[in-house]
Amino acid sequence: MTMKWESINQNVFVIKLVSGILITCLGFRFFILRFGQFSPVQVSVNDSQFSPPILSDNEDLIPVDIEVDKCDLFTGKWIKDPLGPIYTNGSCGIYVDGNQNCIANGRPDSAFLYWKWKPNDCSLPRFDSQRFLQLMRNKSWALIGDSISRNHVESLLCMLSTVEKPVEVYHDEDYRSKRWLFPSHNLTVSNIWSPFLVQAAIFEDSNGVSSAAVQLHLDKLENTWTDLFPSLDYAIISSGEWFLKTAIYHENATLIGCHGCPASSNMTDLGFDYAYNTSLRHVMDFIAKSNTKGMIFFRTSLPDHFENGEWHNGGNCKRAEPVSEEEVEMKVVSKILRDVEISQFERVVMETRNLKLLDFAGMLLSRPDGHPGAYRELRLFKDKNTKVPNDCLHWCLPGPIDHLNDVILEIIANG
């Protein structure tokens, strides 16, 4: 009996011992999991190396530059588009300058409307007017420059009017600078007339016929755009073509030379490239030093397609469809203008984070079919023998210039 009791006691002791060991092991394991796995090792760092980025108040206006797999939207080709434009000259005639309303002026063909721009390395979405208006709610836009800028403004207004009709809320005395409001989105779009971007006295009529040389002050920016500039959320600035005109140049309130002046004038012909480079240098310096929080686009000048002459000596543009790169070459003067533009842009772009380049020269070079040509105005009741200039500089609306807005929306929306 005694041996049996001792055996039982031994068994109880063994059970307690094993249970104690198990409880100790489980407790140790819990400690390791709780404090070993989830307690990070504290490493001392220099806080200044990990400071968060400083964002501007208008950070939403500035698209992020994504360098990896970023598509070049400006290099590509024109492909057929069975859908055609999102508006018609009839639905948007109220916003279109009569000289660019080619269909209303009797242009008989419409094939030029059924093409779209296709970048080489990516797809480019069709312009979405609703999306643009939503992104631009409570924003202000301005397109600053010459009649090509006006042409572009009218294209944008027409495309956006498919969703909401803009209301004209301002115009200057000559109706050259205007502003429109999209009321339900509180978006304003302005066209600011400043063909040289610097101060100029111009003496010419609506057909571009001059009665005297332009008086151009190369170092004085025109306040029609500089006064408004700081308040803009988005701006597209451009110039170029007007510098080819005969002009007398001034710097520091002193006459320094001219372009295209007669030898009898006893003035030094400095060339249009000198004037353009000097003026654009002042423009770019102003932009770089302005500290604007808006997004500023600088657009290169667009090519014309005059053949067999120029504006005033019988030049025309009779092509009916796009051409390949091998069929067309940029004119020498256009190359000079673009070289000046690229040079001045590159000079300041590194110090101006929100300055972007819109280089549409190559894109539109292959569209000689997109101009009004002989259909600059309706001539039903005019003398058929009357000579009128062919317009191979501006663009029909609707027409190829609409596709600039496809690219611009893609840049704004996706960087």
Distance CA 135, CA 183 (A): 15
Average pLDDT over residues 135-157: 98
Report the percent of the chain where pLDDT is more than 90: 71
How far is residue 368 from each of residues 77, 83, 260, 289, measured CA to CA in Å? Answer: 14, 21, 27, 38
Average pLDDT over residues 291-296: 92
Tens digits of residue pLDDT in 366-386: 999 999 999 998 876 566 666
Question: Quick one: tokens of 347?
Answer: 């000079």
* pLDDT at residue 382, as a whole number: 62
Domain 59-414: give its CATH architecture: 3-Layer(aba) Sandwich (3.40)
Average pLDDT along the chain: 85
* pLDDT at residue 291, as a whole number: 84
25 pLDDT higher than 70: no
Find the DSSP H helices in 268-331: 272-289
Question: Quick one: tokens of 308?
Answer: 């067999």
Which of 189, 151, 230 minimizes the C-alpha distance to 396? Answer: 151
Q: Residue 233 catalytic?
A: no
279 pLDDT higher than 80: yes
* pLDDT at residue 247, as a whole number: 97
8 Å CB contact between 100 and 149: no
Question: Quick one: tokens of 30?
Answer: 């819990």
Q: Place 53 in a pLDDT band, splitting at 50, 70 and 90.
A: very low
**Least confident piece of the model among 12-26, 208-222, 259-273, 377-391:** 12-26
47 pLDDT higher than 60: no
Q: Who contacts 248 (Cβ-Cβ below 8 Å, separation ≥6)? A: 213, 214, 215, 216, 255, 257, 258, 261, 267
* pLDDT at residue 69, as a whole number: 57
Question: Quick one: tokens of 196?
Answer: 């040289």
220 pLDDT higher than 50: yes
Q: Place 22 in a pLDDT band, splitting at 50, 70 and 90.
A: very low
Question: Residue 37 in 3-state DSSP?
Answer: helix
Cis amide prior to 398 (ω within 30 degrees): yes
Tens digits of residue pLDDT in 69-91: 579 999 999 999 999 999 999 99
Tens digits of residue pLDDT in 84-119: 999 999 999 889 999 999 999 999 999 999 999 999
33 pLDDT higher than 60: no
Tens digits of residue pLDDT in 165-188: 999 999 999 999 999 999 999 999
**Least confident piece of the model among 41-55, 129-143, 210-224:** 41-55
How far is residue 99 from each of residues 103, 153, 182, measured CA to CA in Å? Answer: 10, 15, 25
Report the percent of the chain where pLDDT is more than 70: 81
* pLDDT at residue 405, as a whole number: 99
Average pLDDT over residues 271-284: 98
Q: Residue 304 catalytic?
A: no
Question: Quick one: tokens of 49?
Answer: 């190396």
Distance CA 20, CA 371 (A): 95
231 pLDDT higher than 80: yes
17 pLDDT higher than 70: no
Q: Which of 146, 391, 402, 406 is catalytic?
A: 391
Q: Which of 129, 140, 147, 279 is catalytic?
A: 147
Question: Quick one: tokens of 405?
Answer: 């807005």
Question: Quick one: tokens of 107?
Answer: 């242009």
Tens digits of residue pLDDT in 307-336: 999 988 889 999 999 999 889 999 999 999
Domain ranges of the chain: 59-414
Q: Which of 233, 394, 402, 403 is catalytic?
A: 394
